[in-house]
Amino acid sequence: MLVKALPAHERPRERLMSTGATALADRELLAVLIGSGFRGASAVELAAQVIDHCGDLSELARTDPHRLLSVPGIGPAKAARVAAAFHLVRRAQAGPERTRIASTSDLAEVASPLLRGYSRERLVVVICDPRGSVLRRTVVSEGGTDHTPFPIRDLIATVLTAGGTRFGVAHNHPSGSLSPSEADVTATARLREAAETVGLHLLDHLIVTDNSWRRIPQDGETC
């Protein structure tokens, strides 16, 4: 039976989208990648033949794409797609580990490139997983030469949307001053309180200049 003749809820691509890739067998995942079958065989049947031809999935991952051309129904386009997919996985596995935030200086190092050299104040958030690995860093707001909006609700929403549990924020002072304003200290306290309300952990709030950085005191600390 052709895949397109199956009920929608039984087709590999539709099942992947509705229930996730873990619900599919190896041949079904490969069928999604291959895209179509050929005369007399569905995409799932063709995928099973490809796996059998190589021996198993691990051998398929290492197979030269030209070897796949000997499987009836597999042409250059399908062989190239399969080879490219496995190569992307190898690249991802061989890539560098995510930067981890283990200290205030780590946070400064990650945030500073988004803040230094700008004539307007910017607010940056660095979002981490429970181990401190950086998931995302982004500019939250940009204002004038001596101020920028500090949208606490938007900050919290950004962290939650990214799947983070820990985060740090930083903003620049184009003037070169490292002294936090009263508004900086107040905003930090409000952000920490808002984060704790939804189970997030605020690592630090930093002021960054072109040459240095400084953390903003919290919880009764003095400047």
What confidence tens digit (pLDDT) does each residue in 175-198 have?
A: 999 999 999 999 999 999 999 999
Q: Is 99 exposed, middle or buried (0-12, 13-18, 19+ CB in 10 A)?
A: middle
Same domain, 118 and 203: yes
Give pLDDT, residue 58: 85
**212 Cβ contact list (under 8 Å, min separation 6):** 178
Same domain, 84 and 8: yes
Same domain, 68 and 118: no
Answer yes or no: is 78 within a domain.
yes
**177 Cβ contact list (under 8 Å, min separation 6):** 209
Answer yes or no: is 16 within a domain.
yes
Global pTM exceeds 0.75: no
Give pLDDT, residue 1: 47
Domain boundary among 64, 94, 124: 94
Give pLDDT, residue 46: 93
Assigned token pair, 149: 């909006």
Strands (E), the chain: 122-128, 134-142, 166-172, 201-208, 213-215
Domain boundary among 44, 75, 94: 94
CATH number at residue 167: 3.40.140.10
Neighbours of 136 (CB within 10 A): 15
Give pLDDT, residue 39: 81
Task: Render 67-90 in DSSP notation, one character per residue.
Answer: HHTTSTT--HHHHHHHHHHHHHHH
Cα distance between residue 211 and residue 209, in whole Å: 5
Cα distance between residue 192 and residue 201, in whole Å: 7
Domain boundary among 74, 94, 114: 94
Same domain, 115 and 183: yes
pLDDT tens column, 135-156: 999 999 988 877 889 999 999 9
Q: Kindly provide the b/e burial profile for residues 74-86, where b requires at least 16 CB atoms within 10 angstroms of the residue's own CB.
A: beeebbeebbeeb
Cα distance between residue 25 and residue 74, in whole Å: 20
Same domain, 121 and 186: yes
Domain that holds residue 67: 3-94
CATH number at residue 44: 1.10.150
Same domain, 69 and 109: no
| Domain count of the fold of the chain | 2
